[in-house]
């Protein structure tokens, strides 16, 4: 357990509204990742961070932005939510020993 | 062709059977991970391998770097082992991003 918490765990929002998901870790790991998981697609990388203010895009970054102003927090923002962004979102961190730890997931429904 | 391929995609077995799930990859890696996800649940890391073999309880994971292949074995399978098992590789370059297989859905019947 790497002390990862995601919030909110469940959210229903309307199309066009902004949404921010938070990933919080307690152990100062450098690398943090946001994934989405959809049936038929598995886990896909949205954005990742390799340090404070250091972020980069993953394979499905369109419509998403991220920020990391503190080591412990990695925020994922949907600027204007669309129904195609209905998904389960997982935050993950990579430890110095290369083990991957996942958060419990955030279920987002865009109606 | 996916960079990480798992087989089988679905596997149903009887309690007590020996289970093998395979993973092949085509990219250079720094490590390979086996993950477990129960229905509606979170994702748990079972193993991280860069060479050889690891064992934890009834679970055994092996990797052959030359052949770019890994296997996850479950001995004396139990219904509580029913889950999706996911193979993922950490790429060699950059932030060692993970590339995931599609997962193997395992069902163990009592």
pLDDT of the residue at A108 = 98
Judge whether residue B39 has pLDDT over 90.
no
Min Cα distance A18 → chain B (Å) is 25
Q: How far apart, in Å, are the Cα atoms of A11 and each of A59, A62, A76, A88, A106? A: 24, 20, 14, 10, 8
- State the pLDDT confidence band at A24, using cuts at 50, 70 and 90: very high
Of residues A18, A17, A97, A6, the one with CA closest to residue B90: A97
A50 close to B (CB below 8 A): yes
pLDDT of the residue at A96 = 84
List phi, psi (to 5°) of B51.
-165, 160
Min Cα distance B47 → chain A (Å) is 8
* Residues B25, B84: Cα–Cα separation, whole Å: 18
Secondary structure in 3-state letters for B34-58: EEEECCCCCEEEEEEECCEEEEECC
pLDDT of the residue at B95 = 64
Min Cα distance B95 → chain A (Å) is 7
pLDDT of the residue at B2 = 76
* Residues A107, B8: Cα–Cα separation, whole Å: 28
Of residues B71, B75, B58, the one with CA closest to residue B13: B75
- State the pLDDT confidence band at A40, using cuts at 50, 70 and 90: confident
* List of E strands, chain A: 4-7, 10-13, 19-25, 31-38, 42-51, 54-57, 64-70, 73-78, 87-94, 100-102, 106-110
Q: Chain B residues contacting A, CB < 8 Å?
A: 30-31, 33, 35, 42-45, 48, 50, 86, 88, 90, 95-98, 100-103
């Amino acid at each position: 357990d790497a002390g990862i918490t995601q919030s909110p765990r469940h959210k229903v929002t309307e199309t066009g509204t902004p949404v921010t998901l938070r990933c919080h870790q307690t152990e100062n790991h450098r690398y943090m990742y946001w994934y989405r998981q959809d049936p038929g697609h598995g886990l896909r990388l949205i954005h990742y961070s390799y340090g404070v203010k250091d972020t980069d895009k993953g394979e499905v970054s369109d419509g998403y932005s991220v920020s990391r102003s503190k080591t412990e927090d990695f925020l994922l923002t949907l600027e204007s939510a669309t129904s195609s962004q209905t998904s389960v979102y997982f935050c993950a961190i990579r430890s110095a020993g290369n083990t991957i730890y996942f958060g419990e997931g955030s279920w987002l429904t865009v109606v | 062709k996916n960079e990480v391929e798992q087989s089988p995609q679905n596997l149903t077995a009887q309690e007590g059977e020996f289970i093998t799930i395979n993973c092949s990859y085509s990219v250079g890696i720094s490590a390979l991970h086996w993950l477990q996800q129960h229905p509606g649940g979170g994702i748990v890391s079972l193993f991280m391998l860069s060479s050889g073999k690891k064992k934890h309880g009834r679970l055994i994971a092996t990797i052959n770097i030359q052949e770019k292949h890994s296997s996850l074995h479950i001995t004396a399978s139990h219904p509580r082992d029913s889950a999706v098992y996911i193979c993922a590789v950490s790429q060699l370059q950059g932030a060692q991003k993970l590339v995931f297989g599609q997962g193997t859905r395992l069902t163990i019947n009592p």
